[in-house]
Amino acid sequence: MDGFYTVKEVCYKLRISRETLRRWERDHWFPSRVRFTRYARGRVGFLKSDVDSWIEDRRTASQRPAA
């Protein structure tokens, strides 16, 4: 198990708002959150490996030369 980021940590790491994060998730542009409880308002997090690989993919894509 590699651990989890909280919503707050992801927003801080990416320098975005919670609403932007929700919109990215809704549009399937960002990895989905993982629920730790069965309750709708329970604790959630993001797999560190998913978030870190998503960031690396964006970084790699932005460094590619334009065709």
pLDDT by residue (tens digit) across 30-46? 999 999 888 888 889 99
Q: What does pLDDT average to over the chain?
A: 91
**pTM to 2 decimal places:** 0.81
Percent of the chain with pLDDT over 70: 96
Helix (H, G, I), strand (E, B) or coil at 3: coil
pLDDT at 67 over 80: no
Domains of the chain listed by start with CATH number: 4-63 (1.10.1660)
d(CA 32, CA 35): 10
Percent of the chain with pLDDT over 90: 70
Secondary structure (H, E, C), 19-32:
HHHHHHHHCCCCCC
Taking only the tens place, the pLDDT of each residue in 8-17 is: 999 999 999 9
- Furthest-apart CA pair in the chain: how many Å? 48
d(CA 31, CA 40): 19
